[in-house]
């Protein structure tokens, strides 16, 4: 089967296999996190691996002109990006919640702290 495939075709087969490997690794990451916490956990790495694996597999599906897988990977990208958006927004909110109200105005200052004198 592979004997009649040119080098360019072999490169795209390798791309597809790498995409599948990255996509599969997300389950390994999720499994390890779940075992460590002794409850079902979906770490942020799961979503990044999902995103990267989907992009690679989307490129492979487009190259192969696959009318089934290409649209599927396009739609899953939206889900992964949305989940990462919510994770970042939640992390930002947690950081903002830990900044005391008095220091919130100074949070964007980049200079050294100043002392106030009356």
**pLDDT tens digit sequence for 16-47:** 999 999 989 999 999 999 999 999 989 999 99
User: Which residue range(s) make up the domain with 50?
Assistant: 2-99
| 82 within a domain of the structure (yes/no) | yes
Count of structural domains within the chain: 1
Please tell me the predicted confidence (pLDDT) of residue 36.
Answer: 94
Please tell me the predicted confidence (pLDDT) of residue 116.
Answer: 53
Neighbours of 14 (CB within 10 A): 11
Residues 51 and 81: beta-carbon distance below 8 Å: yes
> Is residue 106's pLDDT more than 60?
no
| 63 within a domain of the structure (yes/no) | yes
> Is residue 95's pLDDT more than 90?
no
> Is residue 1's pLDDT more than 90?
no
Dist CA 2 CA 28 (whole Å): 29
| 30 within a domain of the structure (yes/no) | yes
């Amino acid at each position: 089967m592979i004997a009649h495939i040119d080098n360019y075709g072999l490169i795209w087969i390798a791309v597809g296999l790498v995409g599948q490997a990255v996509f599969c690794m997300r389950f390994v990451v999720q499994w390890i996190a779940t075992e460590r916490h002794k409850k079902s956990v979906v770490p942020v790495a799961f979503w990044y691996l999902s995103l990267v694996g989907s992009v690679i597999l989307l490129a492979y599906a487009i190259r192969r002109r696959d009318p089934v897988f290409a649209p599927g990977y396009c739609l899953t990208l939206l889900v992964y990006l949305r989940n990462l958006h919510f994770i970042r927004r939640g992390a930002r909110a947690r950081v903002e919640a830990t900044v005391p109200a008095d220091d919130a105005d100074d949070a964007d200052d980049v200079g050294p702290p100043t002392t106030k004198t009356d």
